[in-house]
Chains A and B, each alone.
Chain A
Amino acid sequence: MTALRGQPGSVPLKISIVCLTLAIACGTLFSLATGGRTDVGLADIFRPDGLARTVLFDIRMPRTCAAALLGVNLGMAGLVLQAITRNPLASPAILGINQGAALGLTLGVVLPNTIDLPLDFYALTGALTAGVVTFAISGGFGGKIDSLRLVLGGVAVGAFSYAMVRFTYTLDDDIARSVIRWTVGDITDIRWSETKRLAVWAVPGFLASLVMAQRFNLMALGQASARGLGADPRITLLLGTVVAAALAGASVTVAGPIAFAGLIVPHLAKFLFGGDHRVLVPTTALLGAALMLVADGLSKTLTAPIEAPIGVVAALMGAPWFLWHTIFARDVS
């Protein structure tokens, strides 16, 4: 198990928290300093008024906050999924949860007059349905999760949801116009209202994960041991699915399905801080925020003046990692 191979405490926790906070600070500055207007820089924060201030406070800052929150959400969702499936390849994108949320969201947009509910609700329902279907395919609710079935089932659920999403785009030209940038994960147009929507889900999701950290630790011992110690693995699975679906669904509503961030952040956290989820939950959140802030800065600078959407940057960072892990990790299947 990767989860227990690293030595907890090999890096003193206080130092690592300080390092992470520093990384977040650097990432924030990087993300704030870059953008379409190259003449606006960090020094303009202290300027009392004018265009530069508007650019910083109303355009760049909500986007920077959103990037950090997305990192928290997706990192937590990945960590929770990896813990409850005991599978290092689990993540919202690979298990089809992101795509399910996208499908729910698209249905919510296409069928606006049927039921008047906020879009978040549709995305969450889609994410939850996709997660439950994938777990049902892998045999999770009957007892033992089959590792390979989990991944292949997730790929199938994802492919199906995505086909449905593309199908609805075919029906409506106006939605089709925004399809590319939305499906690859784009946060260019984010303002404070979207950022608030992310935060509303990030905080309870994080707290719930923190409360469940001990359950996740018991899951790592194996389903039988977890049951013996009084934590029914099926309940953990169900609660974890709800938390992960809420976090991933909220991210998808705001930024589209961002792949791979949910996969690599928990791995990096486990590599650095060991396998205790009570430590992992806060550190994964911090690490996710730091990583997505850097990805946001890169997305603005890498191919300037055209922006590479943040989801694409995350995918380019994450795909090699996934490949490396499937080939060399010992604990797959």
Chain B
Amino acid sequence: MRHASSTRLIWTLLGLTFAAIAVFLWSLAAGAVRIPITTIINTLFDLDGPKQGFIINKSRLPRSLLAFCTGSSLALSGAIVQALLRNPLASPKIIGINSGAALGVLLTFIFAPTLDLNWLPVVAACGGILAAAAIFSVAEFAPVSPARLALVGIAIGMACDAAVDFILATSELYEVSAPLVWMTGSLWSRGWAHLNAVWPLLVGLSAITLLYSYRLDLIRLGTAQATSLGLNVRRERLALLALATLLAAISVSVVGVLGFVGLMAPHIARQMVGGTHRGLLPVAMLVGAILAMVADAAGRALFAPLEVSAGILTAMFGAPFFVFLLLSSFPSPIQ
């Protein structure tokens, strides 16, 4: 049994890796200027023959890499949050982390526009952590049902959104036009600077999370069982929540609110390899990366030369997916 599931996991991972590479190459080819695949390979590996150095190296390569990083981080964050809340409908967006991070970043856009790009992840993380802390302090001090907790998350997200709207509407238009594009979850004009600011953090956090994966399995059993198996549930939950928040918030700081990736990817992964986190987490990461890259490249290619924000596409497909989950978890998703 174990052997069979291991084989399946390996094949799934292999297949997804190939799919990710294919999507990656396609995302380099798609856009206002279509680039043939041989040119891409020539440019990437510096071979002889026709090249498109400027478009690929300056624009599309960093964007696709950024989509890869943030998509996988959001998926990982979603998988952790779903395990922690034992709620299949939870995601960084639904519990308000994204909105908190967005508020933090927007505040710095307005009040400290000269701040170095490297500080953006820190600011976003602070906003996200504040939102998450608010939600979980409610859970700690006024014990509520998981259902209520999801509502509290929505409420905190809406409160942050109200503040974001207030800032957007009361400031000068030229000040907010850049944040506005960013708010919808777009990788437009993201370059190497953004990528370099976040990838070491995201890779490090992802590695730590993968090492933690067996503890997620224990926590999913429930507090009583996990404690009897020797786990300090309180401390582990806190650590995992911090990981999830950081992953989501740092992603939001560069690509904006890329909704529903953190919700969809873990579910698709669970369909593929089941609920054991040792396999689930890496599969979810790959699925999330593929989703984000497809959303970015499709947004660029569909109505070229116009660009549709990746966040709009993920919401267009993610929201019906969410409804499907809501309907399929009968009688009620969480009690």
Contacts and interface: CB of A to CB of B under 8 A. Distances in A.
B152 A163 contact: no
Contact of A155 (B138, B152, B154, B313): B154
B109 interface: no
A157 B166 contact: no
B151 A151 contact: yes
Contacts of B319: 156-157, 159-160, 163
B165 interface: yes
A146 interface: yes
Contacts of B142: 327-328
Contact of B315 (A163, A309, A315, A322): A163
Contacts of A323: 152, 155-156, 159
Interface string B19-47: 00000000000000000000000000000
Contact of A137 (B173, B180, B327): B327
Interface in A293-329: 303, 306-309, 311-312, 315-316, 318-320, 322-323, 325-328
Interface string A137-172: 100000000111101110111011011101100110
Nearest to A325: B155
Contact of B169 (A181, A260, A328): A181
A152 B138 contact: no
Contact of B162 (A162, A164, A166, A316): A316
B89 A320 contact: no
Contact of A167 (B94, B162, B308): B308
B211 interface: no
Interface string B135-151: 00010001011011011
Q: Is the interface of B mostly helix, strand, loop or mixed?
A: helix
A133 B52 CA distance: 48
Highest count of chain A CB atoms <10 Å: which of B158, B161, B259, B327 = B158
B308 A137 contact: no
A167 B316 contact: yes
B155 A319 contact: yes
A101 interface: no
A31 B222 CA distance: 55
Contacts of A308: 166, 169-170
Highest count of chain A CB atoms <10 Å: which of B154, B180, B331 = B154
Given A153-B323, A319-B155, A327 B138 contact: yes
A159 B155 contact: no
20 contacts: A146-B332, A148-B334, A152-B150, A155-B154, A159-B260, A160-B316, A162-B315, A163-B259, A163-B312, A163-B316, A163-B319, A167-B312, A180-B180, A259-B158, A308-B169, A312-B162, A315-B158, A323-B159, A327-B144, A327-B155
Interface of A: 89, 137, 146-149, 151-153, 155-157, 159-160, 162-164, 166-167, 170-171, 179-181, 184, 186, 259-260, 303, 306-309, 311-312, 315-316, 318-320, 322-323, 325-328, 332-333
